């Protein structure tokens, strides 16, 4: 996986920037957090190393693929207020409207172009088209989307979060895959029951 030469520097900048704002992770009162049952005296550099991004990410036509490094995959992040995702968008790939309840997101463009946008609490859309080297920030818990719509090449991005476990709620699955009463959805969206059935079908 070939990243531009300045990616390593950007990685460090992202790390320092986000770690300065601990997000919703509790502040540590010691150097770092040690998992329960682990002897801290036996830890070495391997504990603070994550190799899960090696080899990049696989995608299929029109889809997306990702790898993540949250506290679940990388326990050394516990209490540090940071996590990272590596995501590839095949041409036509879309990450549908979603939100992260516990962290802000900083997007760094490695390759390609990406259409992005988030909506604030007044329903205003802040959209942009990103290119290689660009940054874009999504404030904590705001609904946003991303899509590779501009060309025929794969897009590669890094997401840095202000939480070691930012969480993710995808609106389509959340609304149409959680068994909300159909009448509630019909009234909320002003559509017929048949439309709701069609929207729910992929999630049941």
- Supply the mean pLDDT for the chain: 91
| pLDDT attached to residue 14 | 59
The number of folded domains in the chain is: 2
User: Is the per-residue pLDDT at 3 higher than 60?
Assistant: no
Average pLDDT over residues 28-51: 94
H, E, C per residue of the chain: CCCCCCHHHHHHHHHHHHHCCCCCCCCCCCCCCCCCCCCHHHCCHHHHCCCCCCCCCCCCCCCEEEEEECCCCCHHHCCCCCEEEEEEECCCCEEEEEECCCCCEEEEEEECCEEEEEECCCCCEEEEEECCCCEEEECCCCCEEEECCCCCCCEEEEEEECCCCCCCEEHHHHHHCCCCCHHHHHHHHCCCHHHHHHHHHHHC
Whether the per-residue pLDDT at 5 is higher than 60: the answer is no
- State the pLDDT at residue 190: 97
Pairing of strands 114-119, 125-130: antiparallel
Say whether both 69 and 124 belong to one domain. yes
**Do both 110 and 176 map to the same domain?**
no
How confident is the model over 74-102, as a mean pLDDT? 97
Say if residue 77 is in the same domain as residue 30: yes
The answer on whether 6 is annotated among ligand-binding residues is no
Does residue 1 sit within a domain? no
Chain centre distance of CA 47: 23
Query: In Å, how far from its chain's centre is CA 160?
Result: 8
CATH number for the domain spanning 133: value is 2.60.120.10
Each residue's pLDDT tens digit, 162-192: 999 999 999 999 999 999 999 999 999 999 9
Which pLDDT score, from 0 to 100, does residue 17 have? 55
pLDDT confidence of residue 1 = 55
Question: Do 159 and 173 share a domain, yes or no?
Answer: no
Indicate whether 83 pLDDT > 70.
Answer: yes
Residue 192 to residues 57, 164, 182, 183, Cα–Cα distance (Å): 40, 41, 9, 9
Degrees, nearest 5: CA angle 149-98-167: 130
Q: The domain containing residue 61 runs over which residues?
A: 7-167
pTM value is 0.85
Please report whether residue 182 resides in a domain: yes
- Token look-up 């988030």 returns 118
Whether residues 178 and 82 share a domain: the answer is no
The C-alpha atoms of residue 23 and residue 78 are separated, in whole angstroms, by: 12
* Dihedrals phi, psi of 163, to nearest 5 degrees: -150, 145
Question: Quick one: 143 and 175 in the same domain?
Answer: no
Tell me: do 160 and 177 sit in the same domain: no
Q: Region 48-56: what's the mean pLDDT?
A: 97
């Amino acid at each position: 996986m070939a990243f531009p030469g300045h990616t390593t520097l950007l990685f460090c900048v992202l790390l320092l920037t986000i770690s300065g704002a601990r997000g919703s992770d509790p502040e540590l009162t010691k150097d770092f957090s040690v998992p329960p049952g682990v002897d801290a005296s036996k830890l070495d550099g391997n504990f603070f190393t994550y190799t899960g991004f090696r080899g990049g990410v696989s995608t299929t036509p029109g889809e997306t693929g990702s790898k993540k490094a949250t506290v679940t995959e990388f326990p050394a992040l516990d209490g540090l207020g940071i996590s990272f995702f590596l995501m590839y968008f095949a041409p036509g790939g879309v990450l549908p409207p979603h939100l992260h309840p516990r962290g802000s997101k900083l997007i760094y463009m490695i390759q390609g172009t990406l259409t992005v946008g988030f909506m604030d609490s007044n329903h205003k859309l802040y959209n942009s088209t990103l290119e290689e080297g660009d940054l874009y920030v999504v404030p904590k818990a705001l609904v946003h989307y991303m899509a590779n719509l501009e060309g025929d090449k794969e897009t590669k991005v890094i997401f840095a979060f202000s939480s070691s476990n930012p969480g993710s709620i995808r609106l389509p699955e959340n609304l149409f895959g959680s068994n909300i009463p159909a009448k509630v959805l019909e009234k909320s969206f002003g559509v017929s029951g048949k439309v709701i059935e069609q929207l729910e079908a992929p999630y049941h």
